[in-house]
């Protein structure tokens, strides 16, 4: 087994582990008892999606997945900030 095969197999294992993390974050997003729990799960889901895209890009040796991960990172940050401000303002009004 060459070093390239070891790296490819390691990437596949890592993609499966990150996929499991995405499933668990989705579970928390759907079952979260409070709104902050759901916001945190959505943020975790965006971070794991970035990790999955980066690993997949490394596996296929393609740069387009890194650009897609950058776009998801920007959208994930923006959505987290907006949702957090919404929760903060709703608590202030009530």
Tokens 């889901």 -> residue: 45
Q: Is the CB of residue 22 less than 8 Å from the CB of residue 66?
A: no
Domain boundary assignment for the chain: 1-87
First to last CA, the chain: 63
Summarised one tens digit per residue, pLDDT across range 61-92 is 999 999 999 999 999 898 888 888 888 877 54
pLDDT in tens, 10-48: 999 999 999 999 999 999 999 989 888 998 999 999 999
28/34 Cα distance (integer angstroms): 10
Q: Which two tokens stand for residue 30?
A: 């759907």
């Amino acid at each position: 087994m060459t070093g390239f095969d070891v790296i490819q197999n390691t990437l596949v294992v890592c993609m499966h582990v990150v996929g499991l993390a995405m499933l668990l974050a989705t579970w928390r997003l759907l079952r979260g008892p409070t709104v902050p729990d759901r916001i945190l799960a959505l943020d975790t889901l965006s971070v794991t999606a970035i990790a999955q895209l980066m690993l997949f890009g490394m596996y296929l040796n393609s740069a387009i997945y890194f650009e897609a991960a950058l776009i998801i990172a920007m959208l994930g940050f923006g959505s987290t900030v907006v949702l957090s401000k919404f929760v903060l303002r709703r608590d202030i009004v009530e």
